[in-house]
Structure 1
Amino acid sequence: MSGGDEVALLGPAEVRRVAADLGLRPTKRLGQNFVHDPNTVRRIVHAAGLTAGDVVLEVGPGLGSLTLGLLEAARHVLAVEIDPVLAKRLPETVGERAPGVAERLTVLTADALRLKESQLSPAPSVLVANLPYNVAVPVVLHLLAELPGLRGGLVMVQAEVADRMAAGPGSRTYGVPSVKAAWYAEVRRVATVPRSVFWPVPNVDSALVLLTRREPPAGVAREAVFDLVDAAFAQRRKTLRAALATWAGSAARAAELLDRAGVDPGARGEQLGVAEFARIAAVPPLRN
């Protein structure tokens, strides 16, 4: 950027001032914990690997701490904020602290879980967001499905959620979120974020999760695989033969389908990767 485009990031005093101006008291219901540490913002932007041509989709910009850092690095930022008060204030904050890049910002007052590709222009190339733990996984899965043009992203989530998203087969934390995220992307936990960089201070640490888009398994519908995954993990301690009995029609039919897919009917869901689940879902249905 040129010297006239300097961005003044928000520190603790500025975050509290903006909140006070709005009469805002952060709520647990909306997962409102605002980053007030400029170094953490710079760390997130760097970890996201943004290029000058990227269009960033930011979900839940809040008071604008991360937004300012993203505007400094990317061509455009599409900020999706569900709170109309925060959405209205964001352009003002950017105009005050980064007037040279304010035209790069588009703010949408919307629920990210209902977001459609047609609402976003220019088309986003990468997702970068600080997500509330209670909606983090549904938001990421929805956006990866709805926006095939996303090459990936970086999300900050509760550390426990990060572990579940990035877990591999056989891990204690491996489950439905792990498999479904792996359908769309390579998922890696890349850093821990201490709770002290947020206001108010949450009860848990957060972590950064890096998503790198990849081609999903071929020859099978996503919905079929996801239905199978839900069934396999609904009763984690059961073997696949038993866990998939309702899904397949009976335990015997489940065992036959698993055999035809080359999967041990005595295995459990947490032992399989997304490719194995896709292979099972792709087996032609049995005739009566």
Structure 2
Amino acid sequence: MALSPSKTSELLRQLEHRPNKKLGQNFLIDGNLVEKSISMASLPTNYPVLEIGPGLGTLTSHLLNLGHTVYAVEIDRRLEAHLREILNSFIESGQFNLVRADAVKQPIGNLPDDITEYSVVANLPYAISSAWLESLLGSEKLPTSMVMMLQKEATERMLAPPGTKAYNALAIFLQASYQQRGYHSVPGRCFYPAPAVASALLKMEKKTEPYLFAKETRSLIRRIFTQRRKQIGSLLKKEEHEIQQIMTSWLEENNICSTTRPEKISVDQWIKLGGQFPSTN
């Protein structure tokens, strides 16, 4: 059961914990939204779930009670201790696996090597959502689906199409592997403390043939998008000679004019650039 604002405040007081803005801590207090997250995920029975930032355990408890095995990553020491106390029986049975770590550095936490299919269901800490997602997309073990509570502005950047101001490197990396399957706007009153920004629940589903950019290509695309308004022809001249040659061939093969700006180039065209580089991460 989700906690009310007053009960959440009281629990945090008992834990001697003040929500950390730097970590993006806004705790989910709306039970309907917890149910919405789970129904949107539409997971098979006993399906493995990765949860980033379980916080007070509201969503976690629901997932566990439905029979899912949950692998969670929590960086906050007090919240980790709280979770270990209230969910101890699930830990002892092996159904709940919790690691205290920086999710950006360990994007899949302690997910076992033998688990090849899993889903993400999480109220993501807004401060790390983009960095965590980019880190995840740089790994080779992608979830089959993701249901993420995010800052609404972040979802707009992630889903941005070419030719828009919001189009960016992360949108390219995400859209190369995932397609949108659900979206639900969320008011601030569903959290404690209420964030000053609008939120949204987003579902992404892995494509039949997802594309993972190699580390070198991701770095190249990020560099290019720091000067997104400049022409691609002038930007490639700043790269090493070998990369210049690869990019020149890529432009010619895909009929991309050298005066084109990076924000006008489609995800599929960026994927074709990625195909010119080694596939190692």
Partner of 2:255: 262
Partner SS, residue 82 of structure 1 = coil
Partner of 1:107: 98
How far off its partner does 1:116 sit?
6.8
Partner of 2:210: 216
> Identity percentage over the alignment?
30
- The answer to whether structure 1 residue 205 and structure 2 residue 198 are counterparts is yes
Partner of 1:4: none
Match of 2:232 among 226, 240, 256: 240
Larger CA deviation: 176-185 vs 109-118: 109-118
Partner SS, residue 40 of structure 1 = helix
User: What amino acid does structure 2 have at the position aligned with 1:273?
Assistant: S
TM-score, reference length from structure 1: 0.83
- The higher-RCO structure (CA 8 Å, 6+ apart) is 2
Q: Can you list the C-alpha shifts for 1:43-70, whole angstroms capped at 9, x where unaligned? A: 1111122221211110101111111222
- Please tell me whether the aligned partners of residues 103 and 109 of structure 2 are also in contact (alpha carbons under 8 angstroms): no
Larger CA deviation: 29-38 vs 235-244: 235-244
Partner SS, residue 131 of structure 2 = helix
Find the aligned partners of 2:129 and 2:269 in 1 and give their Cα distance: 25
Find the aligned partners of 2:91 and 2:219 in 1 and give their Cα distance: 44
How far off its partner does 1:42 sit?
0.9
User: What amino acid does structure 1 have at the position aligned with 2:24?
Assistant: G
Partner of 1:58: 51
- The answer to whether structure 1 residue 134 and structure 2 residue 127 are counterparts is yes
- Please tell me whether the aligned partners of residues 90 and 96 of structure 2 are also in contact (alpha carbons under 8 angstroms): no
Partner SS, residue 203 of structure 2 = strand
Q: Can you list the C-alpha shifts for 1:67-108, whole angstroms capped at 9, x where unaligned? A: 12222334211121101211111133346xxx7898422211
Partner SS, residue 54 of structure 2 = coil
Partner of 2:33: 40
Match of 2:76 among 65, 70, 83: 83
Find the aligned partners of 2:101 and 2:199 in 1 and give their Cα distance: 24
Find the aligned partners of 1:182 and 1:54 in 2 and give their Cα distance: 24
Q: Can you list the C-alpha shifts for 1:19-50, whole angstroms capped at 9, x where unaligned? A: 12201111211111111111111111111222
User: What amino acid does structure 1 have at the position aligned with 2:49?
Assistant: V
Partner of 1:68: 61
Find the aligned partners of 1:256 and 1:106 in 2 and give their Cα distance: 48
The structure-2 alpha-carbon separation of the partners of 1:210 and 1:247, relative to structure 1 and needing over 3 Å to count, comes to farther
Larger CA deviation: 55-64 vs 170-179: 170-179
- The answer to whether structure 1 residue 225 and structure 2 residue 198 are counterparts is no
Calculate the aligned-residue CA RMSD, in Å: 2.8
Find the aligned partners of 2:248 and 2:72 in 1 and give their Cα distance: 48
- Please tell me whether the aligned partners of residues 22 and 127 of structure 2 are also in contact (alpha carbons under 8 angstroms): no
If each structure's helix is expressed as a fraction of its own residues, which one has the higher value?
1
Find the aligned partners of 1:229 and 1:162 in 2 and give their Cα distance: 20
The structure-2 alpha-carbon separation of the partners of 1:27 and 1:117, relative to structure 1 and needing over 3 Å to count, comes to closer
TM-score, reference length from structure 2: 0.85
Find the aligned partners of 1:111 and 1:100 in 2 and give their Cα distance: 23
User: What amino acid does structure 1 have at the position aligned with 2:120?
Assistant: L
How far off its partner does 1:228 sit?
3.3
Find the aligned partners of 1:10 and 1:93 in 2 and give their Cα distance: 14
User: What amino acid does structure 2 have at the position aligned with 1:137?
Assistant: S
The structure-2 alpha-carbon separation of the partners of 1:78 and 1:167, relative to structure 1 and needing over 3 Å to count, comes to same
- Please tell me whether the aligned partners of residues 166 and 209 of structure 1 are also in contact (alpha carbons under 8 angstroms): no
- The answer to whether structure 1 residue 167 and structure 2 residue 153 are counterparts is no
Find the aligned partners of 2:30 and 2:107 in 1 and give their Cα distance: 32
Find the aligned partners of 2:127 and 2:134 in 1 and give their Cα distance: 13
- Please tell me whether the aligned partners of residues 71 and 109 of structure 2 are also in contact (alpha carbons under 8 angstroms): no
Q: Can you list the C-alpha shifts for 1:131-183, whole angstroms capped at 9, x where unaligned? A: 22221112122224335252121111111111101112122211111011123
Match of 1:180 among 173, 177, 198: 173
Equivalent residues, number: 272
The structure-2 alpha-carbon separation of the partners of 1:74 and 1:274, relative to structure 1 and needing over 3 Å to count, comes to farther
How far off its partner does 1:16 sit?
2.4
- Please tell me whether the aligned partners of residues 190 and 210 of structure 1 are also in contact (alpha carbons under 8 angstroms): yes
